Amino acid sequence: MSVDDRLFDEEGSHSRENVAQIEPIGDLELLSGARLAEVQVAYQTWGSLNAARDNLVLVCHALTGDSNAVSWWGRIVGPGCVINPDDHFIVCTNTIGGCRGSTGPGTLDGQGNRLGSRFPAISVEDMVNAQVSLFERMGWPTPRMVCGGSMGGMQALEWARRNLCAKAWLTASAGQHDAMQIGFNEAMRQAIIADPKWNGGDFSPSDPPSGGLAVARMIGHLSYLSFEAFQNKFGRRTQDGQPDVFQVESYLRYQGSKFTSRFDAGSLVCLTQAIDRYSCESLEGCRTPLLLTAYTSDWIYPPTQSQKLADLANQAGCPCQYELIDLPYGHDAFLLDGDIQTQFVNTFLYNGPAHTSG
C-alpha cells in the first residue's frame, strides 16, 4: 500500500482489541483542585530494561489513540523501527480521559452507569501526573526519551518542562492551541452536544450519540490532511453509480461511522477541552534537550508553532533542535513518515541535539 493510499485508509492504524494491562494508581489530585477517585491507567510495553536501566522510551498518543503504539505508529515504534524493542523498553499509556482502559467519562460505576458528566475536567498536566504515578508504582526509571505527536507532543513537552526525562521529541505539535485549533475542536464538541442522545454526557452505553460523534470525526478528519492530499485523491469525482454523491462525501461518512465503534463521545469532548486549555508560554528552567519536528503541509498544527517552541527554548537556554520536513500529507504526516523522522530521532537519541538551534 502506498503512502497516498494509507492517508485514506485507517484500517490497522488502531488496535482492534485492547490488550493493555490495567494498573490502579489510587486517587489523583487534578490541576483544577478536584479529586479523581480510584484512577486506573491502561498501558502496554515492549522489550525490557537493560542492565543500566537507561533505555526506557515513553510514547504518548494523540487525541484518538490508545496504548498500542506499535499499531498506530508502526513506522516509528516496533521491530525494525527507530524505537524498537530490541534496544528499548517501550511504554505507552492510554491517557486518563480516554476510552481504551484508563479512567475516563465512559468508565462504569458500581451500578453499570457511565461516569459521564460526573467525570471532572482534566488537563494535560493531569495526564502526565497519572503517567508519573504509574511509573512510581511500577518502579520504572527516568525515561531516556518521551515522545509523541499532536496531543502526545503536549504530554512530552510537559514531561520535559518538569525535567522528568532525559530527552523529549515533539512532532506535529504545539505549546498551545491557536484560535483555529480551538475552533475546530469546538465544532466537533458541538456536533456531539447537539445530538439528542448526548443527554448532558449521561447517555446510555448501549445508545450513544453516534450521529454527533460521526460528524465530529468528519470535521476532525478534514483538518488532519492537506488540501493537496484531498484534491489529488478525490477532486470533484463522484461515486460509481451515484452521480449525486461526491467521493469525498462518501469517504467522510464512512470514516465517521467507523469511528463510532471504537471511541467514546465523552472522551472526545473531555480531551479536546484539555488540549485547548494547555498553554506553555515559557521554558525557563527546562534543561531537557528537545527535538521538534514539523511539516510544511500541516495547516492545523502549523510549523510556526514548533518554531515558537524552539524560540522559547533558545530564550531559556534549553538545548533544542528544530527540523522542518517538506511532505504533502498534512498533519497525519507524523504517522506516515517513517524515513525522515527516523533519521532525526536516531541522531537525537544517540548523539543529542545541536545546542539551541532554530
Question: What is the pLDDT at residue 19?
Answer: 83
**Confidence band (pLDDT; 50, 70, 90) for 134?**
very high
Beta bridge partners of 42: 22, 94
Which one-letter amino acid corresponds to residue 303?
A: P
Question: What is the pLDDT at residue 46?
Answer: 98
Sheet of strand 290-295: strand arrangement: 21-29, 35-46, 89-94, 56-60, 145-149, 168-171, 290-295, 320-325
Which one-letter amino acid corresponds to residue 89?
A: F
Angle at 287 between CA 283 and CA 288, to 5 degrees: 95
From 254, 224, 215, select the one nearest 11 (Cα to Cα). 254
Integer CA distances (angstroms), 316 to 113, 191, 289, 310, in order: 48, 41, 12, 10
Across the range 177-187, mean pLDDT stands at 98
Highest mean pLDDT among 13-17, 217-221, 352-356: 217-221
CA 308 to chain CA centroid, nearest Å: 20
Domains of the chain, start order = 12-176+281-351 (3.40.50.1820), 182-275 (1.10.1740.110)
Q: Name the DSSP letter for residue 108.
A: B
Across the range 142-149, mean pLDDT stands at 98
From 151, 143, 177, 92, select the one nearest 288 (Cα to Cα). 143
Q: Is the pLDDT of residue 18 over 70?
A: no
Across the range 58-71, mean pLDDT stands at 98
Contacts of 252 (CB under 8 A, 6+ apart): 218, 221, 222
Question: What is the pLDDT at residue 208?
Answer: 98
Tell me the pLDDT tens digit for each residue of 317-351.
999 999 999 999 999 999 999 999 999 999 999 98
Task: Please spell the DSSP secondary structure of 212-247, one letter per residue.
Answer: HHHHHHHHHHHHHS-HHHHHHHTTT-EETTEEEEEH
What would the 3-class secondary structure string for 44-58 be? EEECCCCCCCCCEEE
SS3 state at 308: helix
Integer CA distances (angstroms), 4 to 56, 73, 82, 234, 336, in order: 33, 16, 22, 12, 9
Across the range 258-272, mean pLDDT stands at 97
Rounded distance between C-alpha atoms, residue 165 and residue 318, angstroms: 14
The H or E element containing residue 69 is helix 69-72
Q: What is the crossing angle of helices 124-138 and 151-161, to 10°?
A: 70
From 45, 3, 40, select the one nearest 25 (Cα to Cα). 40
Tell me the pLDDT tens digit for each residue of 75-93.
999 999 999 999 999 999 9
Q: Answer for the pair 290, 313: CB distance below 8 angstroms, yes or no.
A: yes
Catalytic residues: 150, 298, 331
Question: What is the pLDDT at residue 58?
Answer: 98
Cell of 169: 521529541
Q: Is the pLDDT of residue 214 over 60?
A: yes
Whole-number average pLDDT of the chain: 94
Burial code (b: 16+ CB inside 10 Å, e: under 16) for 13-22 equals bbbeebebee
Q: What is the torsional sign of CA 168, 130, 73, 307? A: negative
Angle at 100 between CA 123 and CA 159, to 5 degrees: 40
Q: Is the pLDDT of residue 178 over 50?
A: yes
Question: What is the pLDDT at residue 351?
Answer: 86
Tell me the pLDDT tens digit for each residue of 224-236.
999 999 999 999 9
Rounded distance between C-alpha atoms, residue 225 and residue 43, angstroms: 29
Question: What is the pLDDT at residue 16?
Answer: 43
